[in-house]
C-alpha cells in the first residue's frame, strides 16, 4: 500500500502544467480519488505527478451563450450538483461515492480516468458532451462518443490536459433519467443507464442512451437509439428498442454479475431509463 517513488510539481498555471507534462512518464493529479489508490497498489507508477488542483482557470460550471452548458475540468461533483438544472443529472451525481468523494473528486478526473463502471461518462455521453483538450501544441475538441478507447484508456495524448467539457442546448421538450444497479459496497455501477429522450408530433424525435458498467467502456447504445427514434414511444416500442442494449458489446462477466445476467440487466435498465425519461 506504499506507492513507488515519484517527483511532485504543483503547477502555478495551465501553461506551467503543460510544460511539466512534456517528456517523461508524468501524470496529472487533481482530486486524487482515482489515481492515488492505483498508485498505492502499484498498478500505476508515474515518475512525476503534476498537481493542477489549485488552477482556478479550470473551475466553473454554468450555461453558455448558445443555451448549452460548460463544466470546468476541476469542478467537483459537489459543485456540479449545486449548479445543475437537470433532475436526472442530480440523481446521477448524488449516487457517486460518498460526501468526501463528491467534495474532492472532479468531473475532469472522472472522464480522464475512464473507469468502465463510472457513472459520469454515461451521463455526459447521453447529453452529447465533448472534451476540450489542451497541450503545448494547441487545443482540440473531441466528442465523448469515441473518446473512451478501452478500460482506463482515452483519446487524450500524454501531453494533453482536459480543460473543460461542453455541450450544446438540449432539444426542446427533451428530458432524461439515470437508472443504476449499484454494487452494494462500492456504489459503482454493475449496470448504469442514462437516457435523454424527446418527442415531437406523437413520435420520438431525439434519443440518446448511454450505458456504463456493461462493456469495456461506457458507450452509446446506438441500436437502441435508432430503434426508438420515429417510434410512438409506447411500452412495446421501448421494450423492443431496449432489446438492443448490448448490441456489438463484449459484455463484462465477473463475480458480481456474469455475462448473461449483466446483459439481461442492461436491457431492463435501458427500458427503465427510457420509460422514466418519457415520464412513465
CATH number for the domain formed by residue range(s) 7-51: 3.30.43.10
| Helix, strand, coil percentages for the chain (3-state, nearest 5) | 30, 30, 40
CB-CB contact of 189 with 96 (8 Å): no
What tens digit of pLDDT does each residue of 259-279 get?
A: 999 999 999 999 999 999 999
Under 8 Å CB-to-CB from 138, ≥6 apart: which residues? Answer: none
Distance of alpha carbon 126 from its chain centroid, rounded? 9
What tens digit of pLDDT does each residue of 141-175 get?
A: 999 999 999 999 999 999 999 999 999 999 999 99
Kindly indicate the confidence band of residue 36, based on its pLDDT and cuts at 50, 70 and 90: confident
Phi, psi torsion values for 243, nearest 5 degrees: -60, -15
CB-CB contact of 2 with 40 (8 Å): yes
pLDDT at position 25, please? 85
Within the chain, which residue ranges are assigned CATH 3.30.43.10? 7-51
Under 8 Å CB-to-CB from 57, ≥6 apart: which residues? Answer: 13, 14, 72
What tens digit of pLDDT does each residue of 94-107 get?
A: 999 889 999 999 99
DSSP 10-27: E-SSHHHHHHHTSSSSEE
**Among all chains, which residue has been given the C-alpha cell 502499484?**
42
CATH fold, domain 56-167, is 3.30.465
Residue 1 has pLDDT above 80, yes or no: no
Within the chain, which residue ranges are assigned CATH 3.30.390.50? 175-277
The 8 Å CB, 24+ separation contacts for 172-176 are 172/198, 173/198, 173/199, 173/200, 174/198, 174/206, 175/88, 175/277, 175/278, 175/279, 176/86, 176/88, 176/89, 176/126, 176/127, 176/277
Kindly indicate the confidence band of residue 238, based on its pLDDT and cuts at 50, 70 and 90: very high
Cell matching residue 109? 478526473
* C-alpha to C-alpha distance for 189 and 192, rounded to whole angstroms: 5
To the question of pTM greater than 0.85 for the whole model, the response is: yes
**Domain 175-277 in CATH 3.30.390.50:** yes
* C-alpha to C-alpha distance for 274 and 280, rounded to whole angstroms: 9
Widest pairwise Cα distance in the chain: 62
pLDDT at position 2, please? 87
Least confident of 29-33, 114-118, 275-279: 29-33
The DSSP bridge partners found for residue 164 are 72, 132
Within the chain, which residue ranges are assigned CATH 3.30.465.10? 56-167
* C-alpha to C-alpha distance for 181 and 78, rounded to whole angstroms: 22
What tens digit of pLDDT does each residue of 47-75 get?
A: 899 999 999 999 999 999 999 999 999 99
Amino acid at each position: 500500500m506504499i506507492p513507488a517513488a515519484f517527483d511532485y510539481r504543483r503547477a502555478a498555471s495551465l501553461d506551467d502544467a503543460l510544460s511539466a507534462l512534456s517528456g517523461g512518464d508524468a501524470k496529472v493529479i487533481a482530486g486524487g480519488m482515482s489515481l492515488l489508490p492505483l498508485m498505492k497498489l502499484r498498478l500505476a507508477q508515474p515518475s512525476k505527478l503534476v498537481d493542477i488542483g489549485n488552477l482556478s482557470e479550470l473551475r466553473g460550471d454554468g450555461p453558455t451563450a448558445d443555451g448549452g452548458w460548460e463544466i470546468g475540468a476541476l469542478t467537483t461533483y459537489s459543485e456540479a450538483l449545486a449548479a445543475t438544472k437537470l433532475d436526472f443529472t442530480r440523481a446521477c451525481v448524488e449516487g457517486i461515492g460518498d460526501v468526501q468523494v463528491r467534495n474532492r473528486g472532479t468531473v475532469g478526473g472522472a472522464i480522464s480516468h475512464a473507469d468502465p463502471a463510472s457513472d459520469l461518462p454515461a451521463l455526459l455521453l447521453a447529453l452529447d458532451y465533448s472534451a476540450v483538450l489542451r497541450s503545448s501544441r494547441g487545443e482540440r475538441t473531441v466528442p465523448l462518443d469515441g473518446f473512451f478507447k478501452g478500460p482506463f484508456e482515452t483519446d487524450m495524448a500524454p501531453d494533453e490536459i482536459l480543460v473543460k467539457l461542453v455541450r450544446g442546448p438540449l432539444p426542446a421538450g427533451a428530458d432524461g433519467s439515470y437508472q443504476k444497479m449499484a454494487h452494494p459496497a462500492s456504489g459503482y455501477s454493475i449496470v448504469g443507464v442514462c437516457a435523454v429522450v424527446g418527442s415531437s408530433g406523437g413520435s420520438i424525435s431525439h434519443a440518446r442512451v448511454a450505458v456504463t458498467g456493461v462493456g469495456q467502456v461506457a458507450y452509446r447504445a446506438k441500436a437502441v437509439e435508432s430503434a426508438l427514434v420515429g417510434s410512438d414511444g409506447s411500452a412495446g416500442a421501448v421494450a423492443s428498442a431496449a432489446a438492443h442494449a448490448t448490441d456489438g458489446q463484449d459484455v463484462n462477466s465477473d463475480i458480481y454479475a456474469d455475462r448473461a445476467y449483466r446483459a439481461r440487466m442492461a436491457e431492463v435498465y435501458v427500458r427503465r431509463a427510457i420509460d422514466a425519461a418519457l415520464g412513465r
